[in-house]
């Protein structure tokens, strides 16, 4: 099975169900691919080889099960999803040796569907970053060009899928952390509606923004994984109790007639704007929109006039929530604990200083500031009001269109170390952040290779709440009518 890394999850699952390959062969093929490519890209924090092979042999002994849609499929998890008996580090020194005693709900759902977890993916520490350069352990590299970043914070998940190390991976998206690495790595990534997928067992960054979603090599692959992980979970108070549609049935769409695509000026900035699109990104995304028009879609201009305020609004809210969520890591109950301390205040200070990286400390300090007495109303309170207006902005736009389309990022993947200024890094997420503030679903799909950079380019689709079926059906048809994407030359 030397070519299994070129197969989609859908193709791999079909081969497994038909008995053309065994679960053990599928897992071993991925482990062989990891051994071959991992020294170059460093996408994985931990590899559960023996555990995965043991699980595969158990499945093979019972035989393929048509009631388990991901039977024998090898998958990777971002390392902030709790896995029973397996370290969950969040790519941080403070949780370097933390082993949960339970699974996240999505992990249980994957295992119930027959999927086999083979590894945990690298990430920006506590999901704080856009390049996977903030991991406490090592930097992940882009499989298309190892001098470039894979995006973040789910860069390990994007890179492991692009490199063919697994059939699919789970990432999390707080402000674009699935869609950005999907775009940079040339894979498909989906951030579901807030509340569509249970967050139970996910280490939180921004609790009102975080959402778990799939990353895979095709739109259909993402639909198959979302079908498994979506649904209400009584263990998660933010999980929404609403029926899950048949995402695979939605993929049968023959054309895009009757569909209206909104094109916001704010997502297609002119060349003389403060943050212009690179010509290669603009060309690829415009070609994809033109193809949707050929397939019968209508395009209309829409306004997302508060986009310029999204960065400031997002970082105030996200950092405030981060400062609250990460206060539990104090060196007392679990996680890293400083040694040879005499006072409680010293224990807190040293444990956190030794355990948290620079970016995490920066966000905790800013978050604590905007929540402090005398500044709460001026910063957090005002950001919450602007967030509501941003949601209303989307609601108004969706009155005249079914989906919104635009680039994921103004550029293709940048070189490692290029964005040393934190503010420069924050601006990378200008087109992705509003989606999380509004709680609507969004996805990235590859639509071409840059003529200058020779790197993948992603088109972003956004939809009203719980419109993942419309988004997936549109992306699937577009994918079938675009030239096939090449594979990275690893």
Among 92, 113, 157, 177, the one annotated catalytic: 177
User: Of 153, 157, 218, 239, which residue is the catalytic one?
Assistant: 153
Q: What is the DSSP string of 410-471?
A: SSSPPBTTS--SHHHHHHTTTTTHHHHHHT--EEEEEEEE-TTT--EEEEEEE-STT-HHHH
Q: Is the dihedral of CA 110, 74, 83, 85 positive or negative?
A: positive
**What burial class does residue 274 get, using C-beta atoms within 10 Å of its C-beta: 0-12 exposed, 13-18 middle, 19+ buried?**
exposed
The sign of the torsion formed by the CA atoms of 419, 424, 430, 433 equals positive
Q: Please indicate whether residue 351 is annotated as part of the active site.
A: no
Tokens of 470: 């419309």
Alpha-carbon span 321 to 103, nearest angstrom: 23
Establish whether 177 is a catalytic residue.
yes
Catalytic: 68? no
Q: What are phi and psi of 173, to 5 degrees?
A: -130, 110
**Which residue is catalytic, options 78, 120, 139, 419?**
78
Residue 69, both tokens: 């849609």
φ and ψ at 402, to 5 degrees?
A: -90, -35
How far is residue 163's CA from residue 175's CA, in Å, rounded to a whole number? 24
Give the three-class secondary structure for 22.
Answer: coil
Q: Which residues are catalytic?
A: 78, 153, 177
């Amino acid at each position: 099975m030397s070519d299994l890394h070129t197969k989609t999850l859908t193709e791999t699952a079909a081969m497994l169900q038909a008995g053309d390959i065994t679960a053990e062969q599928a897992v071993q093929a991925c482990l062989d691919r990891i051994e071959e490519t991992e020294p170059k890209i460093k996408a994985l924090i931990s590899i559960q080889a023996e555990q995965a092979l043991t699980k595969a042999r158990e499945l093979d002994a019972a035989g393929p099960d048509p009631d388990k849609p991901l039977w024998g499929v090898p998958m990777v998890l971002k390392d902030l999803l709790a896995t029973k008996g397996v370290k969950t580090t969040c790519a941080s020194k403070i949780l370097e040796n933390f082993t949960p005693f339970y699974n996240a709900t999505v992990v249980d759902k994957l295992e119930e569907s027959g999927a086999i977890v083979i590894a945990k993916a690298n990430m920006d520490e506590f999901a704080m970053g856009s390049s996977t350069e903030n991991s406490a352990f090592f930097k992940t590299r882009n499989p298309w060009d190892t001098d470039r970043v894979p995006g973040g914070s789910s860069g390990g998940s994007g890179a492991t899928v692009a490199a063919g190390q697994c059939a699919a991976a789970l990432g999390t998206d707080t402000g674009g952390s699935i869609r950005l690495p999907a775009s940079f790595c040339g894979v498909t990534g989906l951030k579901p509606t807030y509340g569509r997928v249970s967050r139970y067992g996910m280490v939180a960054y921004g609790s009102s923004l975080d959402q778990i979603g799939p990353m895979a090599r095709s739109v259909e692959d993402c639909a198959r994984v979302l079908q498994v992980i979506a649904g209400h979970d009584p263990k998660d108070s933010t999980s929404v109790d609403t029926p899950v549609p048949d995402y695979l049935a939605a993929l049968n769409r023959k054309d895009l007639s009757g569909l209206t695509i909104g094109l916001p000026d704010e997502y297609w900035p002119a060349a003389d704007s403060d943050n212009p699109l690179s010509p290669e990104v603009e060309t690829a995304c415009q070609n994809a929109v033109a193809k949707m028009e050929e397939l019968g879609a209508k395009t209309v201009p829409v306004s997302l006039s508060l986009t310029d305020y999204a960065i400031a609004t997002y970082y105030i809210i996200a950092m405030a929530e981060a400062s609250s969520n990460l206060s539990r890591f104090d060196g007392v109950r679990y996680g890293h604990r400083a040694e040879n301390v005499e006072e409680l205040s010293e224990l807190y200070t040293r444990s956190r200083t030794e355990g948290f990286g620079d970016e995490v400390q920066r966000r905790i300090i800013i978050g604590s500031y905007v929540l402090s007495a005398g500044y709460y109303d001026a910063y957090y309170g005002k950001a919450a009001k602007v967030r509501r207006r941003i949601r209303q902005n989307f609601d108004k736009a969706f009155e005249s269109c079914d989906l919104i389309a635009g680039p994921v990022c103004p550029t293709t993947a940048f070189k490692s170390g290029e964005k040393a200024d934190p503010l420069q890094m924050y601006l990378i997420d200008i087109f992705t952040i509003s989606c999380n503030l509004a709680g609507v679903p969004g996805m990235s799909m590859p639509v071409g290779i840059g003529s200058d950079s020779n790197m993948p380019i992603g088109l972003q689709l956004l939809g009203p709440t719980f419109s993942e079926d419309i988004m997936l059906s549109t992306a699937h048809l577009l994918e079938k009518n675009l030239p096939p994407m090449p594979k990275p030359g690893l």
